[in-house]
Chains A and B, each alone.
Chain A
Amino acid sequence: MQRSALARLLLLLLPLLATPSLCGAREYLQVFVTEPYLELHTGPGRGYPVTQVVPRAESVDVLKRRTDWFKVRSERGVEGWASQKDMQRVVLADGSPFTFPLGDRAGFTSHRIEGGIFAGDYSGATLISGYGSYSFNSQLAAELSVGQFLGNASNGTVVDLGLTHVIVPEWRLSPFVMLGTGIVRIEPKATLVVPLDRSDQTAYVGGGLRFYLTRRFFARAEYKSHIVFTSRNENEEVDEWKLGFAFFF
């Protein structure tokens, strides 16, 4: 009975989801052109041609953003894509400058979220891994990485969770140190004597370098030294090396 009432309530709420424009004040940001004119490209990229311009003092509505391009609509209803560089020179209705997060060196120094992909070596096996991190400040970040290693003797997955400390975030080539814990799951190949899968907890300490390339891109190389807490008498030590590309936003 209660469930059917809940279902009915959800059904009633359904139209609200379908029509966000009715219940939410979804209006676009209006900005004013201060340069002689604002160039509108046909697509979000510098290669797309400029087919329209918006003259000084006219306004445009900012419809959406894709990478470093803004889709705008002029007062006359002309739509086009304006570059980030040009949009830095427009103003809001009260005359204040239009500001937005830029993908530049300042963003590299201090950002909230970053992610990337790596190729590397995990104790002799080929490693493919990806990571995501959340920064508390420009130096300290919590990081989650997931990887798969494929070797001749065994395959497996590695999941690590830990903290990363960037020593001097302002530097273009900046070193960092890492500390954390994780789980490794090893699946030995069937041809071997012990074809048993096993999962073990690990702890790691490591370090690396990150190098700012361009826009929101950087390269990252790192080394982790894992200690695998096995169920046997001695613990294993595993080295992990990897190199990859990452981005921030």
Chain B
Amino acid sequence: MNSHSDIQKLLSPYSGNDISSHDRILVEEHLESCPDCRSELTDLQTTLKLLRTTPEIEPPPWLTTHIMANVREQRELKTSWVKRIFFPLYIKLPIEGLALIFVCMTGYYLTQRVETELQQPASEKVDKIFAVPPPVTIPPPPAKQSKTTAPISPSKELPDVSVPKAAEQPVAVGKPAASPAFAPSPAAIRENADFLGAQDNRSMVEPHRSASKTESFSLSSDAPDMNKKAARGVDKHPDVSEAADTANRTGAPPIAVTPTQLTIRMNVTATTEAFLLIREAVIRSGGAIIHEPPAASSRVTARIPLNRVAELFINLGKIGKIVEQPHYSNRSGTAEVNIVW
């Protein structure tokens, strides 16, 4: 620590009086015997003196003015922003009060509406979607009136509400596409919706349209006989009776709906287990067995949504060879499938 280079390092703190007393003694002892260090110290002290006595520059006279002008501008900006929101009170307060009332009323209305919707069960919502307009009481037509227009036509697509010939005939089985009388009722649609989980929008909209058409028929005063026939048809088919019950519950007019009859013939190898396999295929296709065959019978009747008949074909094809595959055009509603093997 007492070497020349070490002492030289201490000269700078020594010149600035930033040195400990111990180091100070060491430096002073060394300086007595080292002229180079004394010269170095003199130069350092001179430099330090120059630094400390450097004259300071003066700020320009406009500096304070400029600074304060900017500061006041900043303050004005801040204040005016506050003023824009809260002042003048005699204008702002009424507007803000009205806005508050409006917001509260809107909130109350929305809350009430949400509560009403929550109180309705989910099934009613489905009914709402396919809701038929409320029943219209039609006064009995005059005896000799050949054509009467319904007071309210649910479907604007049908300007002429006279009953088509197909509808005048008794409920035909096996020709669903040709006659609107075979269109599914809202109850059947709901059943479909339950089956499908409302996944196919097309298949849900089309029956609605058909239902409207059917309804227009029932509203027509020209077809009182048709209504009676349709009512008779309801007795024959449990599906239709269910639809009629639903229609009675919802207040809609009774609708005659008959499931499509289809027949599938197939050859199976495992005849003993055929029924079990076919039943499983029907269930997998979203259908249900409605008539269980007696023992040793090779015929079963199942009910299945029409839009899943193709899936039934595929499932049955895994069991055996389909000999006779029916053709059908209507993709909505239900079908009664007779499977013969």
State yes or no: do A and B come from one complex. no
